[in-house]
Every structure is written in C-alpha cells, then in structure tokens.
Amino acid sequence: MPKTPAECTTMADVRAEIDRLDRALMALFAERWGYIDRAAEIKRPLNLKADIPARVAEVRENARRHAVAFGLEPDFYEELWAQLIDHAIAHERTLLGEDQE
C-alpha cells in the first residue's frame, strides 16, 4: 500500500515510494510514446511535418501551467517538456522519413 510522504518514517520508506513513483512515471511516458507513434501514422497521409511550432508552443505552455497548478517550478518543467518534445519530434522525423530529405 502506498504511503504518503508524512507516513514515511525511514529513508527506506521514502526510497520505496520514490521508486514506485518513478516506475509509474515510466509507464506514463511509455503510454505517451504510443501516442507519438500514432501521431506520425496520422500525419503521414495528411502530409504534416513532425514539427508543428504552434503545437510545440501549446505543449510547453501546458507544462508551465500544470507545474504552477501543482506548486512546481514552471521554468524547470517547461524545459523538461522541451526535451521530451525535441525527442518526440526527432522520432517522428525518422518515422516520416524527414531525416532523409
């Protein structure tokens, strides 16, 4: 049963909960990655590019807004999301054959 931070009484408790959350985050990233693959499949027949600047800006702003809503530092999380976006765009470019142009 997961413990809240306040319920953790030892470093072992804290580490176990962090490890549990890290695994859950990886599962969410894997799920997100499935949507990246699907986006490339949908973009191909529509002749859309991997990099759509308006969407990139929207996702970065969403990251900032969500960070603020959860009491987190928005600059850090926007930059983290920028790295996710860059990696996703590079992957989509490969899938769409844009890196061969």
Residues that constitute the known binding site: 15, 32, 43, 92
Residues 6+ apart with CB under 8 A from 99: 90, 93
Token reading at 10 = 């030892």
Residues that constitute the known binding site for substrate: 15, 32, 43, 92
